[in-house]
Amino acid sequence: MAEILPDVESLAAAIPDGAMLAVFKDNGVAMEATRALIRRGARDLHLVTVPTSAFQAELLIAAGCVATIETSGVTMWELGQAPAFVRAVKSGAVRIRDATCPAIYAQLQAGEKGIPFMPLRGLIGSDLLKVRPDFKVIENPFGPDGASDPIVALPAIRPDVALFHVAKADRRGNVWIDRQAELRSLAHAAHASYVTAEEIVDHDLTGHEATAGATIPASYIAGVAHAPNGAWPMAMPGRYASDTDYLARYCQAARSAEGLARWLAGEGLACHAAAE
């Protein structure tokens, strides 16, 4: 059984400084846990976005929690660039490890399978190979005799911690991921997975046909914390939409370092779940 934690502060306390922390894309974003991480003063994280990120990565960078980010992209969608991320890239405050969506997924698949690398063809000819010396071009050992058949070997990603949000978990720590199947690879690859849930139910999610097929067993989960509205201001499909007005206010404030500092000191890190 995974540990059912008393609150998101306890969950954030379990994620050490300096950890390789993998976070999920737009749906299933553990924003309440992210704010708790910032409130506790997390530092020197190696953030891996699976495969991209928006406000979650932006906020962690804005608060000075991130030393390295491995990502296929960080934007605020129709609201434009992610201002703190852009400043960090330009100033060198955060080390950038460029990737692509297929590359990150392939690296996670290697991690979950316990193998050192995963081959991928699509990167050959791209500039990415110039900035990622750990992506190795090798010859296909099963290629046609006498003919060159290059392929890229990508090192496995084994995050120290995976962090994501789900609609529901049960008292044993099984977590229901609905249609977000990529979360399986993330949980399998990580050494520890911490999850926040909109609700914690009493019945066993693995024991019901309607939920068992989309449930990650508790054996892959280190801890679960109850966090109603825990993805806000991001969307939780089937429950609430993203709060675009809030995100627009953030982008306006974060245009300058001074405005960002005021925002972080004010509404930015308030515990939304407790206020609901």
Domains of the chain (ranges, CATH numbers): 3-99+158-275 (3.40.1080.10), 117-155 (no CATH)
The structure tokens listed for 201 are 């139910």
> Averaged over 248-272, what is the pLDDT?
89
> Any bridge partners for residue 155, and if so which?
117
pLDDT digits (tens, 9 = 90+) for 84-140: 999 999 999 999 999 999 999 999 999 999 999 999 999 999 999 999 999 999 999
pLDDT digits (tens, 9 = 90+) for 41-67: 999 999 999 999 999 999 999 999 999
Rounded CA gap, 175 and 271, in Å?
A: 23
> Averaged over 186-195, what is the pLDDT?
98
Q: Give pLDDT, residue 220.
A: 98
In this prediction the pTM is 0.95
pLDDT digits (tens, 9 = 90+) for 145-167: 889 999 999 999 999 999 999 99
pLDDT digits (tens, 9 = 90+) for 193-251: 999 999 999 999 999 999 999 999 999 999 999 999 999 999 998 899 999 999 999 99
b/e per residue, 7-39, with b = 16+ CB within 10 A?
bbeebbeebeeebbbbbbbbbbbbbbbbbbbbe
Predicted confidence band of residue 276 (pLDDT cuts 50, 70, 90): very low
Q: Give pLDDT, residue 174.
A: 98
Q: Give pLDDT, residue 273.
A: 59
